[in-house]
Structure 1
Amino acid sequence: MKLPLLTASGIGLCFCLYGCDPDDRGLTENGKAYVPVYMAATEKNNISISSVRSTDRSGKIYAYGNYIFQNDLNKGIHIIDNTDRAHPQKIAFLNIPYNTEFAVKGRYLYANNVNDLVVIDIGNINNPTVVKRMENAFPYVNQEYPTEPGYFVCPDPSKGIVVAWELQTVKSPACRR
């Protein structure tokens, strides 16, 4: 009984050790890897109103009175005048860096801004103003590694906040997930 158990254990150990590569220290030449995209921490405070622009990546739409708000993922919110329901017109763009979610209640628009929650007074639609910022209201997502497995360039916190990951050809990425 001991011999078959020892044989099976030995074969199992061989299979386990066969999968280990002690020389695997990452790519040693150019290869595809995820590279962090950084934003300076102060850059997230750049919330401003600007002229109409085209929509790159449409997100949520929210109706409020005679206005429609349309999220442009990671860019901000389009403000659309819907007074003439047959012909809605974009009238402005509210720049909110790395915004993905928002809601409107009363005269306030609530939006994420990277990992902060900002409250914006939209009582004067032509001059929205930030009235409150709750810093670190949301956890950072994907700061240490990308969501996809594989090689990646190790993030450097001194370069800023990691806001995205891009797949690029790089030389010898040091990290792998």
Structure 2
Amino acid sequence: MTMQHRFTISGAALLLAVAPITAFMGTPAAAQTPQRNLAAQQAAMAKLDGLKGRWLGQGERLNADGSRYTFTQTMNNDEHAGGLALTLEGKSLRHGAAADNKPGTGSFAVITFDDKTGGYELRSFGFGEMVTAKAELVTPTSFRWTASAGPAMLRFTIDMSQPGVWNELGERSADGGKSWQPTNRLIAYRTENH
């Protein structure tokens, strides 16, 4: 290799390294990513620390046709991204005759806090769908998320007023949130802290 050829390779590498920086510097300030308040996000997420850990509980599902079934639920909830996200992973086993015991639903959700809007967001993955829900801390010990489900609305409220106890009520509204009917109940106990 000649000295000139080495310089060409080094010059090309330098050009590739500097081009993105100069392109970004030329971007108007309004087009750049806005700064986020990470401390505010972490503080808001810390208010949900009561949801963290491994959980085991029993629940009951109330179907629209009036039928019911019971289930056992496990949950594994942990923080990620330096406390900026909380994941909730649940698995259930539907009760019945031994031959009828079937795995129930599996669910996975991610909760984050948007410091720009001042609100929580929950993205739930289950039943073959992804749902984005508005979430809120109703009281210091009560967390709720609400989502549209076709023409109906669903909401789930977790009461964390007793440390180590997860008391959840699921509800459905067919009239835009004016009235609510229960769809499921779950009481779980923390078996391990995270």
Q: Give the TM-score normalised by the residue count of structure 2.
A: 0.23
Which has more helix, going by share of residues? 2
Q: Which has the higher contact order (CA 8 A, sep 6+)?
A: 1
